Structure 1
Amino acid sequence: MDKQDYTATIWVEQKPQVVFEAVKNFRAWWSEEIEGDTEKLDEVFFYHYKDVHLCKIKLIKLVPYKELVYHVVDNQFSFTKDKNEWTNTKLIFRISSKGGKTKLLFTHEGLVPDYECYKICYDAWNNYIKKSLYDLITIGKGQPNPKAGDGFNAEIVKKWKLK
């Protein structure tokens, strides 16, 4: 099978600067359960969704108003045989404009249909990019995952050495 990384595209009537700033604000469109800086080059942040998904992500490329590339340094899923499926993949956000509109092309490089998590991750990314991030850009409010509260097990983070 040819490599087919997950991609999603949205078009908005906003300036590239607005799209760029929204993308960097992961807490406003992906999850309120993020620790660390998502906006500075070479910084690593920690994301988790309950005990289902935990990962460390590093911003490795930042071209103002044009491109952001994040490297998944470490990843743990509780629902796949290969717990590390996302490890060493990249989250790539490319921003361009045409005819007064701005295009955001998101690619999860390395997330391919052969992955056990692909269907779930495909649906999740569609929601986060095409709905939550789109809404953040267009109406100023996304729908990130709320803080999990009692659903999170800090011992798992220690065990997997994710922080």
Structure 2
Amino acid sequence: MSNNSFTTTFTVDQTPETVFAAINNVRGWWSQDIEGKTDRAGEAFDYHYRDSHRCRIKVTEHVPGKRVAWHVLDNYFSFIDDKTEWIGTDIIFDISRKSGGTEIRFTHQGLVPDYECYDACSDGWSTFINGSLRSLIASGKGTPLSGTP
């Protein structure tokens, strides 16, 4: 894993099992515009946000209470020159018990500062992971993107 990949970490008071369930509820924290299964290794799903971003993601690891990993199979960005920057990258959620709670370590392996989308994408992930996912875990309600207008 590159040290330059985007990573963010936070801790919550909930159990690893609760965290794992929330991560797999992708429609509850990232976007309601997800098609396909998001909660089983080997499955693939499609994410779509207006005309600016769409991607196809395969669930590569699904270890209850410990880890979820995705591999980006296809990607399109309308707002940068290299519309395919995410292709071949991995999105990883590591879950571990820490004193007083559960730590979630999110890494978008391959999302590096050299990428044209790095600033926008890392800001987006920060919002979804530290905001929406954290809220879904803590309160049962995230703030995912709503369906396509």
Output the amino acid matched with 1:96: S
> Does 1:31 pair with 2:31?
yes
Deviation (angstroms), 1:3? 4.8
Correspondence for 1:101: 101
CA distance in 2, matches of 1:70, 1:115: 19
Deviation (angstroms), 1:99? 1.1
> Does 1:148 pair with 2:118?
no
- After superposition, what is the alpha-carbon deviation per residue over 1:3-52, rounded to whole angstroms, capped at 9, x for unaligned? 50000111000000000000011100000000000001101100011010
CA distance in 1, matches of 2:137, 2:3: 30
CA distance in 1, matches of 2:86, 2:109: 9
Structure with more of its chain in helix, by fraction: 1
Number of equivalent positions: 148
The answer for unaligned runs of 5 or more in structure 1 is 150-163
CA distance in 2, matches of 1:3, 1:22: 27
Deviation (angstroms), 1:98? 1.4
TM-score with structure 1 length normalisation? 0.89
- After superposition, what is the alpha-carbon deviation per residue over 1:54-82, rounded to whole angstroms, capped at 9, x for unaligned? 00000011111101110000000001111
Of structures 1 and 2, the larger Rg is shown by 1
Output the amino acid matched with 1:61: E
- After superposition, what is the alpha-carbon deviation per residue over 1:103-142, rounded to whole angstroms, capped at 9, x for unaligned? 0000000000000000000110000000000000001100
CA distance in 1, matches of 2:105, 2:30: 16
Describe the SS at the equivalent of 1:72: strand
% identity of equivalent residues: 49
Correspondence for 1:68: 68
Correspondence for 1:156: none
CA distance in 2, matches of 1:119, 1:144: 20
- After superposition, what is the alpha-carbon deviation per residue over 1:132-161, rounded to whole angstroms, capped at 9, x for unaligned? 000000011000000022xxxxxxxxxxxx
| Runs of at least 4 residues off by over 6 Å | none
Correspondence for 1:157: none
CA distance in 1, matches of 2:98, 2:134: 17
CA distance in 1, matches of 2:97, 2:117: 32
CA distance in 2, matches of 1:20, 1:135: 14
Describe the SS at the equivalent of 1:122: helix
Describe the SS at the equivalent of 2:132: helix
